[in-house]
A = this chain, B = another copy of it.
Amino acid sequence: MDLLRNSMKEIASFILKVAEHLDKYQVEKLIQYLIEARNREGKILVVGAGRSGLVAKAFAMRLMHLGFNTFVLGETITPRIGPGDVVLAVSGSGRTQVVVTVAAAAKKAGATVIAVTSYPNSPLAKLSDCVVRIPGRTKLAEETDYFARQVLGIYEPLAPLGTLFEDSTLVFFDGLIVELMERLSITEEDMRKRHANVEGI
């Protein structure tokens, strides 16, 4: 069980470093896009494949609790997207084919596209209006190698595959929710009132 505990500590320590190295300018831009969309009742459509998609859904659920008009690509109720709407795409590599395809279609339809990715030079990042870098994948490209190794000091993580990216992104989104609560003057009690009261699985 030491390995289990050490892995948890590795992930938590990594998240602490990610919190220190957020790009204030891009995160502030993301916050403004979200708040403006909420003010004009625009839609927020979250997009992601695999575990990144699950993290995007967890964020979407909280956005709904904050009164955002939120949707999840691939679920039953996916509306038409256009100017004034925001598409938030989550992909560690920034190369997940369907995510890039959807983001490009959204961009063409006039929506604002926000990328959350480890790779600011990836195809997804390049077509996005705002790019929040969450590091985590250390083996794909030189640029992240450099960032993860030199800045964050991560060499050979215990956590396999995209785990560091996915877990850091979940916690980043949850921090963002607290920031949005403050800026929008929404209390936990307000959120509870929007929480589902009949739950499926």
Interface residues of chain A, those whose CB is within 8 Å of chain B, are 1, 3-9, 11-13, 15-16, 18-20, 22, 24, 27-28, 31, 45, 47-51, 53-55, 57-58, 60-62, 64-65, 70-82, 87, 96-99, 101-102, 105-106, 109, 158-161, 163, 166-167, 170-172, 174-179, 181-182, 188, 191-201
Q: Which residue of B lies closest to A196 (CB)?
A: B78
In the complex, what residues of B have CB within 8 A of residue A82's CB? 197
In the complex, what residues of B have CB within 8 A of residue A176's CB? 4
Copies in the assembly, this chain: 4
Q: In the bound complex, do residue B196 and residue A80 qualify as a contact, i.e. CB atoms below 8 Å apart?
A: yes
- Select one of B4, B6, B75, B96 contacting A75, CB under 8 A: B75
Q: List 26 A-B contacts (CB under 8 A).
A: A1-B24, A7-B179, A11-B15, A11-B171, A12-B12, A12-B13, A12-B15, A12-B19, A13-B16, A48-B201, A49-B200, A61-B76, A61-B77, A72-B76, A72-B77, A74-B74, A80-B196, A81-B197, A87-B198, A97-B199, A102-B200, A160-B177, A160-B188, A161-B188, A163-B174, A167-B167
A53 vs B79: C-alpha distance when bound (angstroms): 16
Q: In the bound complex, do residue B197 and residue A3 qualify as a contact, i.e. CB atoms below 8 Å apart?
A: no
Given A61-B51, A72-B75, A200-B98, check contact A161 B18 (CB 8 Å): no
Q: Which residue of B lies closest to A139 (CB)?
A: B188
Please name 19 further chain A to chain B contacts, defined as beta carbons within 8 Å, in addition to the given A1-B24, A8-B16, A78-B199, sorted by A numbering: A11-B174, A12-B13, A12-B171, A53-B201, A54-B55, A54-B58, A60-B77, A61-B77, A72-B76, A75-B200, A78-B200, A80-B193, A98-B101, A98-B200, A109-B197, A159-B174, A160-B177, A160-B188, A161-B191
